[in-house]
């Protein structure tokens, strides 16, 4: 689509001349990635239930350990290859695993060991592949472009997140879980192609000679540089705390989801359809918010509103659950939390990285998005299990969740103020260090 043919897009969503190609490439990258992942997400939830809801904390711990193994591999790739090649190499790595799981599920679809391995694998897969896609977006857009274009571009994620579960609902019966994996593989490879197109757009619209020379070189440094960079930066530690609180709140709600679905639906195919339906509702709300609300909020009120609004709403939702711990209330709270995260919190969180260096955007960011997030998952899972064991009343966990959400909101507000200060410093001295 040419910019002339895309004038309606420019006028409606704030894109400028010459940016339509970037928006379409980024939109396609996220759409294909999320369509493939969300086709498999209901399968993951089904496999988690198959392994026993009472064992979920072990799966979360296994995921964290797997992430600790995977991150140095990613760090090595990020250190040795040009920035533009990080995404395709990472996606090719995971694509090879999808082939193996598709074959395994076709040969033995009811194997609990394979189900648990897939649950852990896809929990690593989704964190790394999505984090890398966001790294590319933060790398090719300036801070000013991010405020205008992030929401529009990542609306592709919500459209993909809507398409994926709808495909899962319709196709899980005819082609089974193995067939969904083959189809997801096609989407993942297509996302890598779209990411390459986004990099080519940046090549045609460079920041400047020094930046383009830097983009042509590997990032260098240690595979563990992401962790050390975070530990040296109060700003990155703040982002890590924000992600830790987000993951903790999410885990509390996730355990309730698994328990209630397991109690209500016993058939694996039906469970996959239920999880797919919830995903479809979430993504419908998210894409409408991203297209018509997120960008306008970011431009007029700043990043802070994106980082604070959802945690406050979630705190209220937890208190509602404390008084009415039933599936209908839970479904409303879970849908609002997830739709708000995709449409508001995630774009706001990624805007925090636009004021940082390339190494921070790839290595530190991916350390936070993977090890910190999954570590928080694992710890929160055991805390939730302990709370359930010590207090049989679900209201106790709900009140704790509300408290975590309020701290989460306060952290988001502080980070937004810090990001604004850094953006001002970068304008005076471009490309400042972390």
More confident residue, 84 or 414: 414
Residue 65 has what pLDDT? 85
Q: What is the domain extent for residue 252? A: 7-428
Q: How confident is the model at residue 431 (pLDDT cuts 50, 70, 90)?
A: very low
More confident residue, 24 or 292: 24
CA distances for 288 relative to 36, 123, 276, 284, angstroms:
20, 26, 19, 6
Residue 310 has what pLDDT? 92
Instruction: Confirm whether 131 is domain-assigned.
Output: yes
Asked whether the beta carbons of 392 and 219 are under 8 A apart, the reply is no
Q: How confident is the model at residue 206 (pLDDT cuts 50, 70, 90)?
A: low
Residue 67 has what pLDDT? 80
pLDDT tens figures, 134-163: 888 878 877 777 777 777 787 788 788 888
Residue 300 has what pLDDT? 80
User: Averaged over 236-258, what is the pLDDT?
Assistant: 88
Residue 161 has what pLDDT? 80
CA distance 407 to 216: 41
In total, how many domains does the chain have?
1
Instruction: Confirm whether 397 is domain-assigned.
Output: yes
Residue 214 has what pLDDT? 54
Residue 285 has what pLDDT? 84
Asked whether the beta carbons of 249 and 20 are under 8 A apart, the reply is no
Residue 218 has what pLDDT? 53
pLDDT tens figures, 15-67: 666 777 788 888 999 999 999 998 888 777 777 666 665 667 777 788 788 88
Instruction: Confirm whether 108 is domain-assigned.
Output: yes
Which positions ≥6 away from 21 have C-beta within 8 Å? 3, 197, 201
The phi, psi pair for 223, rounded to 5°, reads -60, -20
User: Averaged over 251-273, what is the pLDDT?
Assistant: 74
Instruction: Confirm whether 192 is domain-assigned.
Output: yes
Residue 7 has what pLDDT? 53
Asked whether the beta carbons of 149 and 24 are under 8 A apart, the reply is no
Helix and strand element counts for the chain (H, E): 19, 0
Question: What CATH number did the domain enclosing 223 receive?
Answer: 1.20.1250.20
CA distance 387 to 396: 8
Token pair belonging to 401: 């969740």
Instruction: Confirm whether 434 is domain-assigned.
Output: no
Instruction: Confirm whether 2 is domain-assigned.
Output: no
Q: How confident is the model at residue 211 (pLDDT cuts 50, 70, 90)?
A: low
| DSSP 3-state of 141 | coil
Residue 50 has what pLDDT? 63
pLDDT tens figures, 94-116: 999 999 998 998 888 778 788 88
Percent of the chain surpassing pLDDT 90? 19
Residue 415 has what pLDDT? 95
Q: Using alpha carbons, select from 418, 30, 39 the residue that is nearest to residue 233.
A: 418
DSSP H helical ranges for 51-109: 56-80, 83-107
Which positions ≥6 away from 295 have C-beta within 8 Å? 13, 14, 147, 148, 149, 150, 151, 152
User: Averaged over 258-286, what is the pLDDT?
Assistant: 75
User: Averaged over 240-268, what is the pLDDT?
Assistant: 81
DSSP letter string, 219-269? --S-TTHHHHHHHH-HHHHHHHHHHHHHHHHHHHHHHHHHHHHHHH---HH
**Residue/partner pairs of 103-108 with CB below 8 Å, 24 or more apart:** 103/178, 105/176, 105/177, 105/178, 105/181, 106/176, 106/178
**What mean pLDDT value characterizes the chain?**
80
Asked whether the beta carbons of 157 and 34 are under 8 A apart, the reply is yes
Asked whether the beta carbons of 164 and 279 are under 8 A apart, the reply is yes
Strand-pairing partners, residue 82, are 218
More confident residue, 393 or 349: 349
CA distance 395 to 389: 13
Token pair belonging to 237: 């530690």
Strand-pairing partners, residue 218, are 82
Residue 359 has what pLDDT? 73
Asked whether the beta carbons of 361 and 139 are under 8 A apart, the reply is yes
Residue 224 has what pLDDT? 59
Query: To 10 degrees, what angle do helices 373-390 and 234-264 make?
Result: 50
**Global model pTM greater than 0.85:** no
Is the per-residue pLDDT at 278 higher than 60? yes
Instruction: Confirm whether 1 is domain-assigned.
Output: no
Residue 413 has what pLDDT? 94
Residue 30 has what pLDDT? 92
Instruction: Confirm whether 203 is domain-assigned.
Output: yes
| E strand or H helix that includes residue 189 | helix 155-204
More confident residue, 261 or 423: 423
């Amino acid at each position: 689509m040419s910019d002339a043919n895309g004038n309606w897009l420019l006028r409606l969503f704030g894109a400028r001349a010459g940016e339509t190609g970037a928006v379409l490439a980024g939109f396609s990258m996220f759409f294909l990635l999320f369509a493939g992942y969300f086709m498999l997400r209901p399968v993951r939830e089904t496999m988690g239930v198959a392994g026993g809801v009472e064992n979920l904390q072990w799966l979360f711990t296994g995921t964290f350990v797997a992430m600790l193994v995977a991150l140095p591999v990613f760090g090595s790739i990020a250190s040795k290859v040009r920035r533009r090649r990080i995404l395709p190499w990472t996606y090719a790595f995971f694509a090879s695993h999808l082939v193996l799981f598709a074959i395994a599920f076709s040969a033995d679809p009811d194997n609990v060991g394979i189900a648990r391995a897939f649950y852990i694998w896809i929990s690593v897969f989704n964190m790394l592949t999505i984090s890398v896609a966001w790294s590319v977006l933060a790398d090719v857009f300036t801070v000013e472009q991010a405020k205008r274009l992030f929401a529009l571009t990542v609306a592709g994620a919500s459209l993909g997140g809507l398409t994926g579960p709808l495909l899962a609902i319709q196709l899980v019966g005819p082609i089974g879980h193995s067939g969904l994996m083959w189809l997801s593989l096609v989407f993942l490879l297509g996302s890598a192609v779209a990411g390459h197109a986004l990099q080519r757009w940046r090549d045609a619209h460079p920041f400047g000679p020094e930046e383009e020379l830097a983009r042509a070189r590997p990032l260098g440094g240690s595979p563990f540089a992401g962790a050390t960079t975070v530990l040296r930066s109060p700003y990155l530690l703040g982002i890590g705390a924000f992600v830790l609180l987000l993951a903790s709140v999410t885990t509390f709600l996730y355990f309730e989801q698994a328990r209630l679905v397991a109690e209500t639906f016993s058939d694996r195919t039906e469970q996959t359809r239920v999880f797919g339906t919830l995903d479809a509702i979430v993504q419908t709300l998210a894409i409408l918010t991203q297209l018509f609300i997120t960008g306008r909020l970011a431009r007029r009120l700043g990043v802070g509103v994106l980082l604070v609004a959802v945690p406050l709403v979630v705190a209220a939702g937890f208190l509602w659950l404390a008084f009415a711990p039933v599936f209908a209330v839970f479904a409303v709270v879970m849908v609002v939390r997830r739709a708000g995260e995709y449409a508001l919190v995630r774009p706001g969180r990624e805007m925090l990285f636009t004021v940082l260096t390339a190494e921070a955007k790839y290595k530190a960011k991916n350390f936070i998005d993977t090890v910190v997030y999954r570590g928080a998952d694992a710890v929160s899972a055991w805390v939730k299990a302990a709370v359930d064991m010590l207090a049989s009343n679900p209201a106790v966990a709900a009140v704790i969740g509300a408290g975590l959400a309020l701290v989460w909101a306060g952290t988001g507000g502080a980070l937004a103020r810090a990001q604004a200060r850094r953006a001002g410093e970068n304008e005076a001295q471009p490309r400042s260090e972390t």
